Chains A and B, each alone.
Chain A
Amino acid sequence: MFSEISEYFRTEALPHIWCPGCGIGTVMQALVRAIKTLQLDQNNIVVVSGIGCSSRMTGYLDFNTLHSTHGRALAFATGIKAAKPELDVFVVMGDGDAAAIGGNHFIHAARRNIDLTVIVINNSIYGMTGGQSSPLTPHDKRATTSPYGNLERPLQLLAVAEAAGATYGARATAYHNQLLTKVIIDAYNNPGFSVVEAVSQCPVSYGRRNKFKTPADMLRWQKEHGIMKGRQEIGDEEFLIGEIFRAQAAEYTREYEKLRQRLQGGER
C-alpha cells in the first residue's frame, strides 16, 4: 500500500479478492489518485458499483460506498445524485455489468447527461463467473461460452455513450495508468455524464484462453495497441486512448433545480 493514498482505503477490508495479475487494482489506484489530486472531501464522495469483480472495489474504498445489484449501478447512482446533487458520485462497473445487463441504464443516464463520473473496467470477459463472453469480448476471441471463438461483434461503448448524449468520453488502460488518472480527473471536472473506459486485463479467465501466457504479456499488448488519439491510421486490434469526445449539454440535476426555483417563484 502506498502511504500517500492509504487514507482512502478500508484497510480492514484488505487483502482484496482479485487474482494475481488482475488489472482492477491498478484502476482502483488510478481512481484514488484522481480523487486525491482533486482534493475532494472524502465525506462527500459516493462510489457506486454493480456486481462482478470490478464492483468489489467499493468494499475497499473509504467513502460512502454502495455495492448494488448486477447492471443497476447507474440507476442507483441516478437516485443518489438526483436526490442530493451536492454529492460527488463515481460509478464503477465491469464490461458485462455496464454493457449487457446494465445497457439500458447506461443509455438513459447518458441521455439525461446526469453528472456522474463513470468508470467501465473493460477486461473483455465475465471474470467472477469464470470467463464467459461479454458484449465487449472481441470478435473471434475465446471464452467458456464462446469456446469456438466469439461470433458476435463487440459493442463500441464510448460511441454508444456519445450517441446517447454523454458529454465526456475517454479511454485508457491499466498499462497507461497515469493517463487513466488524468482522464478520470477530466471526467470528474466535466459537469455531466462522463465515461472512462479503462481497458484492463483478466489473465485467469481471458488471457489463458487467448494466447497470453503471463499478465505482463497482456500489459504489453495494452501498451502496443493503445494508440493516443490523434493518429490517423488505426491498425487491427488497435484502439484509441485519451480523450475520445467532449460535448456541451444541459446537466440533469441543474435543470431540475432550475425547475424547482421557477415553480417556487410562482411560475408554472
Chain B
Amino acid sequence: MSNARLMQGNEACAEGALAAGVRFFAGYPITPSTEIAEIMAEKLPLLGGTFIQMEDEIGSMAAVIGASLTGAKALTATSGPGFSLKQENIGFAIATEVPCVVVDVQRAGPSTGLPTSPAQADVMQARWGTHGDHPAIVLSPASVQECYELTVQAFNFAEEFRTAVIMLMDEVIGHLREKVELRENLAVVDRKKPSVPPDRYIPYVNDESRIPAMANFGEGYRYHVTGLTHGENGLPTGKPEVAGKFLQRLTHKLDPYLDRIQRWEEVELSDAELVIVAYGCTARPVREALGAARREGLKVGLFRPITIWPFPSGEIAKLGGRKFLVPEMNSGQLVGEVERIFGPKNIHRYNRIDGELITPGEILEKIREVMA
C-alpha cells in the first residue's frame, strides 16, 4: 500500500520528526508554524512521548535542550520573532553540543513584519543569529516531500554531529498542500554513546572525529554541561590554550563531513550559460520559468542549495565562467555567498520584499534581461 498523502508542509515536517524518532516537543504558538506544535500535542503522548507548551519561545528552546540531555530526540518550531528569541539558547545547544532541531517557518520581517506573508529573510540569522563563532547546519526544503525527508535528515545531522540543526522553511512551503510519500525506510541516526566506562569517559574529548560521544543524564556518566568555554572534561576554563583548542574543534567540527552534509539539486546545468541559484519557495517559480526560457532557446539552469549552510561553495565554484542570477524573497542574502566565490561581476539579483511571491513571469523576464 502506498503511503501517499495530501498534506501541508508543516504537517509533513511533524511527520518527519516522528519518523526520525522525536519524542519531545516544546513550543509556543506563532503563525505560520503552529500546526507543527498542534500535531505534536496530539501525537506525542500516544507514542509515549512528551509535548509541552512553554511560557515563551526562550523557555521552549531551553526545555528542548534539557530533554535532549536525557536522551530524547527533541524538536521546537517557530517563526521570525520567535526565532529571534531562541537565539541565545540555540548558541547554548551548539556550544554544549546538545543535539536538537529548530524549525523556523520564515515570515516577512523585520520585527512583527507582515504577519504572515512569506519571506526568506532569515537566511543570515539562521547562520549568524546567535553570538560568537560557531558551526551551522541549515536545511531549506522546497516541497512538502522535502519537509518530510529533510526533517528526518535534520535529526540525523543533529544526532551525528551533536549540534542544533535549523530547518529553514518558509510560509509558502509550510502551508502548501501537495502530495507527499511518507517513506518508512529512511535511515535514522542516533547519537554516538560512550564506549568506555564512566571513570574513563571524557565528555568533550578532542579526537580525530571532532564529535565526542554523548552520555545521557541518568545513565551513570556524571559530567558537567556549561555554556562557558570548557576543556575536554567539560569544566569551565579561562586558559587560552584550552579555550583555543576547544573553539578550534567546535568551529571546525563539520569540516571533515562537508561532502555528506552539503546537498543540492542541479537542473539543466550542463549547457547553461545562466545559472539561477534559488532555494526554498523561490525555486518553484524558477523551475517553471526554466521550461519557458528553454523553449525560447535560452540556455538556463538551476542550482538549488538544499543545505544552505554550510553553503555548497565548492560545487558552485565549478560553474565558473557563466552568468548567475540569484532571486530571493529578501533584499539579497545568499547572493553574497555566490559573490564571495566569483566577485560581483556577472552576478545578478532579483529581490522581492513586499510579502508577495516571485512569479515565474518575473523570473522569465529577468532571464531575458540578463541574457540579452
Contact = CB atoms under 8 A, between A and B. Distances in A.
B64 interface: yes
Given A84-B71, A108-B59, A59 B54 contact: no
A81 B24 CA distance: 12
Contacts of A13: 224, 235
Contacts of A59: 224, 226, 235-236
Nearest to B50: A82
Contact of B54 (A10, A78, A86): A78
B66 A77 contact: yes
A223 to B, nearest CB: 34
B89 A72 contact: yes
A147 B233 CA distance: 42
B52 interface: yes
Contact of B225 (A65, A105, A108): A65
B133 interface: no
Interface in B211-230: 217-220, 222-228
B224 A12 contact: no
A91 B23 CA distance: 24
Interface in B233-253: 233, 235-236
B62 A263 contact: no
A51 B231 CA distance: 19
Nearest to A48: B66
A67 B224 contact: yes
B20 interface: no
B324 interface: no
A69 B63 contact: no
Interface residues of A, number: 40
A248 interface: no
Interface in B55-95: 55-56, 58-60, 62-72, 74, 88-89, 92
B218 A64 contact: yes
B46 interface: yes
B103 interface: no
A176 B58 CA distance: 36
Main secondary structure on chain A at its contact with chain B? helix
Interface string A74-98: 0111111111101100000000000
Contacts of B70: 80, 83-84, 87
A78 B56 CA distance: 13
Contacts of A43: 218-220, 222
B77 to A, nearest CB: 15
A63 to B, nearest CB: 6
Contact of B222 (A63, A67, A69, A76): A63
A58 B178 CA distance: 49
A163 interface: no
Contacts of B52: 78-79, 82
Interface in A1-58: 10, 12-13, 42-44, 46, 48, 58
B62 A76 contact: yes
Contact of B235 (A10, A66, A256): A10
B233 A83 contact: no
Nearest to A88: B218
B197 interface: no
A133 B143 CA distance: 52
Contacts of B223: 64-65
Interface residues of B, number: 43
Contacts of B289: none
A64 B52 CA distance: 23
Given A80-B69, A84-B70, A75 B218 contact: no
A256 B41 CA distance: 12
Nearest to B219: A43
A79 B62 contact: yes
Given A59-B224, A59-B235, A69-B89, A75 B54 contact: yes
B160 to A, nearest CB: 21
Contacts of B56: 104
Contact of B65 (A76, A105, A259): A76
Contacts of B55: 75, 104-105, 107-108
Contact of A75 (B50, B59, B233): B59
A146 interface: no
Given A78-B52, A84-B71, A264 B222 contact: no
Contacts of A144: none
B234 to A, nearest CB: 9
Contacts of B113: none
B314 interface: no
Contact of B46 (A79, A108, A263): A263
A260 interface: yes
A43 B59 CA distance: 26
A66 B26 CA distance: 19
Contact of A64 (B59, B64, B222): B222
A259 B41 CA distance: 12
Contact of B62 (A12, A68, A84, A86): A68
Given A65-B224, A83-B50, A263 B45 contact: yes
Contacts of A152: none
Given A59-B235, A72-B58, A260-B45, A87 B218 contact: yes
A251 interface: no
B46 A82 contact: no
Interface in A136-164: none
9 contacts: A59-B235, A66-B66, A79-B65, A79-B69, A82-B50, A83-B50, A83-B67, A256-B45, A263-B46
Closest 3 CB pairs of A and B: A79-B66, A79-B63, A75-B62
Given A44-B218, A59-B224, A79-B26, 13 more contacts: A46-B218, A64-B217, A64-B218, A65-B223, A66-B226, A76-B63, A78-B54, A82-B50, A84-B70, A87-B70, A104-B55, A108-B55, A108-B59
